[in-house]
């Protein structure tokens, strides 16, 4: 199994293989290490994110959203051609095919796990069925927590001497 996450040392997206015995994730770019919390990875599945380490992970399709959107946009654009020539049957056929391609791709793609908090993506982890699908409520809770974090009051000294320039 592997995890794709933003390295806390160099800030770049990296992908690292790990298993139940792994104690660290090592960044491909800078070699920076991140300790895996004990018990996070079990043969029965993931109990928490190994990066942040939130316990809230959701199940999603391993299907980049922009690919789906691109297919729809291309389909819509293509359907304008027969529409221009008043070929309603052709217009409908193209739109229908576009929707069908999207649905088939969605069904064919595998599942993966994603962390609500740090957006780390997990592929190949065991027992995916125990995880729940995306919940907007949980997502919103994490988003609001995150929005509050960088905007602390600029008083009482900086937290642990950080300069807060993470990007
Ligand atoms: Zn790094
Ligand atoms: Zn996380």
Is residue 162 predicted with pLDDT exceeding 60?
Answer: no
With 70 as the cut, is the pLDDT of residue 164 above it? no
pTM score, two decimals? 0.73
pLDDT the model gives residue 167: 46
Q: Give the Å distance between the CA of 74 and the centre of ligand 2.
A: 34
For residue 10, report the distance from its CA to the centre of ligand 1, in Å: 4
Q: Is the pLDDT confidence value at 166 over 50?
A: no
For residue 132, give every residue at least 6 positions away whose Cβ sits within 8 Å of its Cβ, in sequence order, or none: 58, 59
Q: Helix 65-84 and helix 88-108: axis angle, to 10°?
A: 170
CA-nearest of 17, 21, 59, 16 to 40 is 21
Give the integer Cα–Cα distance in Å for 4 and 85.
47
Residue 79 clears pLDDT 60, i.e. is over it: yes
Distance between Cα 88 and ligand 2 center (Å): 48
pLDDT digits (tens, 9 = 90+) for 16-70: 999 999 999 999 999 999 999 998 998 888 999 999 989 999 999 998 878 888 9
Interatomic CA distance for residues 150 and 57, integer angstroms: 23
Q: How many residues are there in the chain?
A: 167
The string of pLDDT tens digits covering residues 85-96 is: 999 999 999 999
Q: How far is it, in rounded angstroms, from Cα 45 to Cα 5?
A: 18
User: What is the predicted pLDDT for the residue at 129?
Assistant: 86
Ligand 2 centroid–CA 109 distance in Å is: 23
If one compares 106 and 79, the residue with the highest pLDDT of the two is: 79
pLDDT at 150 over 90: no
Print burial letters for 22-34: b (CB count within 10 Å at least 16), e (below 16): beebebeeeebeb
6 pLDDT more than 60: yes
What is the DSSP annotation of 66-112?
A: HHHHHHHHHHHHHHHHHHHTT-HHHHHHHHHHHHHHHHHHHHHS-EE
Residue 155 CA to ligand 1 centre (angstroms): 31
């Amino acid at each position: 199994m592997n995890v794709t996450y933003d390295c806390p040392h160099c800030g770049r997206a990296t992908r690292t293989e790990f298993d139940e015995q792994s104690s660290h994730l090592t960044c491909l770019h800078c070699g920076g290490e991140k300790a895996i919390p004990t018990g996070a990875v079990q043969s029965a599945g993931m109990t928490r994110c190994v990066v942040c380490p939130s316990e809230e992970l959701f199940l999603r399709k391993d299907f980049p959203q922009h690919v789906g959107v691109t297919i729809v946009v291309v389909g819509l654009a293509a359907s304008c051609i027969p529409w221009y020539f008043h070929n309603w049957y052709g217009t409908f056929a193209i739109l229908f095919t576009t929707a069908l391609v999207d649905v088939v791709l969605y069904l064919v793609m595998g599942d993966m796990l994603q962390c609500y908090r740090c957006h780390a993506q997990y592929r190949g982890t065991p027992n995916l069925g125990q995880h729940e699908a995306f919940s907007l409520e949980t997502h919103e809770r994490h988003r609001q927590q995150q929005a509050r974090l960088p905007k602390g009051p600029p008083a009482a000294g900086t937290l642990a001497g950080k300069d807060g320039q993470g990007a």
